[in-house]
Chains A and B, each alone.
Chain A
Amino acid sequence: MAEQILPAVDPDKAPGKSEPMIRLENVYKTYDLGEIQVQALRGVSLEVRAGEFVAVMGPSGSGKSTVMNILGCLDRPTKGRYFLDGVDVSGMSKDELARIRNKKLGFVFQQFNLLSRTSALENVELPTVYAGIKPEERTRRAMESLTRVGLADRAGHHPSQLSGGQQQRVAIARGLVNQPAILLADEPTGNLDSRTSIEIMEILQTLNDEQGLTIVLVTHEADIAQFTKRNLEFRDGKLKRDKLVEERLIAREVLKTLPTAEEQAAEDAQEDASQEKAATENARQAAPKA
């Protein structure tokens, strides 16, 4: 039962005095679909402290998306309470929740969800626009945020001119621009190849380790969860397992064992070249007949 789960936080790492960043108290979520009622969450209690890096895991239908929506203030619990940074947000109005999302939360999605035909810089600026920040300050902050993900030189590019990994980094920069308390990432590597996935994890680990950013990440991939510090496993709308990650993977180390982008590119180029060579040879053989 959820109530019986002991706080999995190492008391040495996160002293109990401070209020946790996230506290769910016996949260229920029921979707009323007319004929039937779907219980997506059935009494979930959990705490996440500042500086944690948590993976929310579970199969589809386990309630992990619902818990993510509630943590992201996109949805409200049917029953139970949600304290974000010490503030009870479970009874807030839509407008108040919008303000909380703007100020306290950063979102990263599986689909990147960047606005098309809009430059990377303007995409990153978006949350600052709704925060009512003056234009010059917006640009300054957005550039700073892009620099943090290593894409300052791509500020003027549109999403269609960027690779998937770069698009996701722009999305992370957007998530960071308002200096949120928590970064919420929903399957951030779901649309990326293995190497790019690990590159994204490297950025997230750096943000967590070096800047103490609290990150909650939803994933169904166990190897991605290994990069985080703590795993929460959901099943049937309940929190089934809460464990600290042992033998945590360090993305920077893993990347060293993989071929670099250049090497990969060179390999690909070689393949292409040999194919091309074959093609031209074929053409040459066909030519005299014409």
Chain B
Amino acid sequence: MTAVGFWKDRSWVSEWLRFFLADWQENKMDFMNTFRLALRALARNKMRSALTMLGIVIGVGAVIAVVSIGQGAQYIVQQGIQAMGTNAVFIAAGSNRAGGVRQGYGGVKTLTVDDMNAILAEIPLIKQAAPALTSRQQVVYGNQNWSTQITGTAPNYFDIRTWPVQAGSVFSDQEVDLAANVCVIGTTVARILFGSENPIGQTMRIGNLPFRVDGVLESKGQNVTGQDQDDVIFAPYTTVQRKISGITWLQFIAASAVSQEASVAAVAPITSLLRERHRIRAGTDDDFMIRTQADIADLQNQTQSTMTMLLGGIASVSLVVGGIGIMNIMLVSVTERTREIGVRMAVGATEKDVRMQFLVEAVTLSMMGGAIGIVFGLIGSMLIANLLQWPTLISGKAVLAAVIFSTLVGVVFGYYPAHKAAQLDPIEALRYE
């Protein structure tokens, strides 16, 4: 039987289907018997069987270890994004067309506190919202000075961003109403201006105005783009509007929806509400931009899972190599056992019986290899987690895929040798030395 003949004769397609769908009760040789036969045949050449399985063991083990590392990394990123508040919705002013020139974010004057109140009043999906505007200022304490970003906002901003203080407290709503000169600082600012001194209750200068430091925020570290998130100062938005920037509008609204799904669902109603309030004609661009945390999380996940799939794909190449090893050894086995095949045929084995016997043997090899590979993969990813301190996350899907894939490898690479065995002529097989 040549390889060409093998491809021309398509009966193997239906054989495969029958292999999976066969009702073993009706089959001449019951499955357990065939399986026992396969185990015994494999046990006869323990070393050879073990080495053949090794290919699959390494393949499956590598896939599981690599995927668990990838999933671990993905999990860490997701945790980071969740820490920023997965329900968050950011509305940024800007991006309207003014004589063909688009302004950057925050460059328009249309987004106001009234918009924010309208959103809170009319869109029940939004639970809370805080105004925000920023200004870059020189800040001074004692003989230290520093240039940083002042964000004017309200106290609930810290709830929306799940960002508590590590010392002191956040300014109050009354202080917002009064446009008081109070602020909360990030750890970077605290370190640079105050050094080892306790900043709480101290007075620092922002621009030309004195501000009392009420609290120091917990450190958030760098964000995904490498920006230091702790190099910030927060003050009441009223204070920043009136005393620092001298404006009446906002640059951002930081809102929080009732759930992660709601944050996505709220985008459309907020858009139509703001368009109406800003009197934007149909066909004209929005003068604001809405971003949800879910969008960002999606993007991150996508990048990560692409990486994981790429690595998993490379690892699965070794599974194919393992499959070739199985095919090789099965071909040797068929040649060695030509006489046995002849005897079986003489006493009544049909082509299908013989084919099934060798196919089950190949699949047993690959499935056992797969099982051992799973154990090795799990141990491997635990070792990586412990020794290299890399986060790993064992994925049930990867394990399931490994089982299915290794079985498939056995069927695909075991089929040709089994087919060859079934096509033997009993007379010649019996005469074979």
Contact = CB atoms under 8 A, between A and B. Distances in A.
A113 B339 contact: yes
Contacts of A231: none
A33 B181 CA distance: 107
A72 interface: yes
B430 interface: yes
B350 A126 contact: no
B350 A95 contact: yes
A126 B347 contact: yes
Interface stretch (A1-9, A100-108, A200-208, A218-226): A100-108
Contacts of A132: 28-29
B345 A98 contact: yes
Nearest to A75: B427
Contacts of B80: none
Contacts of B343: 113-115, 126
B430 A109 contact: yes
A113 B353 contact: no
Contacts of A127: 347-348
B349 A98 contact: yes
A102 B348 contact: yes
Interface of B: 28-29, 33, 44, 339-340, 342-353, 426-427, 430
A191 to B, nearest CB: 14
Interface of chain B, helix or strand or loop or mixed?
helix
A178 to B, nearest CB: 8
Contacts of B344: 126, 130
A197 interface: no
B353 A69 contact: no
A101 B427 contact: no
B350 A94 contact: yes
Contact of B346 (A74, A129, A131, A178): A74
A99 interface: yes
A162 B350 CA distance: 29
Contacts of B430: 74, 109, 113
Contacts of B33: 129, 135
A115 B339 CA distance: 9
A117 interface: yes
Contacts of B346: 72, 74, 101, 107, 113
A174 interface: yes
A130 B347 contact: yes
Interface string A160-185: 00000000000000100010000000
